[in-house]
Amino acid sequence: LLAERHRQLAGKADIVISEGAGGWLVPLSETENMADLAVRIGDPVILVVAMRLGCLNHALLTAESIRARGANFAGWVANRVDPEMPVFEENMESLDARLGVPRLATVPWLDEPDPERKISRAITGLNLDLVTQALARA
DSSP H helices, the chain, are 2-10, 34-41, 55-68, 88-99, 115-124, 128-137
Give the Å distances, CA to CA, from 43 to 3, 16, 52, 110: 11, 9, 27, 29
What is the domain partition of the chain in residue ranges? 1-42, 44-138
Which residue type does 52 have?
A: R
pLDDT of residue 45: 94
Q: What is the pLDDT of residue 129?
A: 79
Strand 103-107 with 73-80, pairing: parallel
Look at residues 5, 8, 134 and name the one whose alpha carbon lies nearest to residue 77.
134
Q: Note the pLDDT of residue 65.
A: 98
Contact present, 49 and 55 (Cβ < 8 Å): yes
pLDDT, mean of each 10-residue run, the chain (138 residues): 79 80 92 93 93 97 98 94 93 98 89 73 72 71
According to the model, what pLDDT value does residue 32 have? 93
For residue 105, the tally of other CB atoms under 10 A from its CB is 21
Report field, pTM of the whole predicted structure over 0.85: no
According to CATH, what is the number of the domain 44-138?
Answer: 3.40.50.300
The confidence score (pLDDT) of residue 138 equals: 60
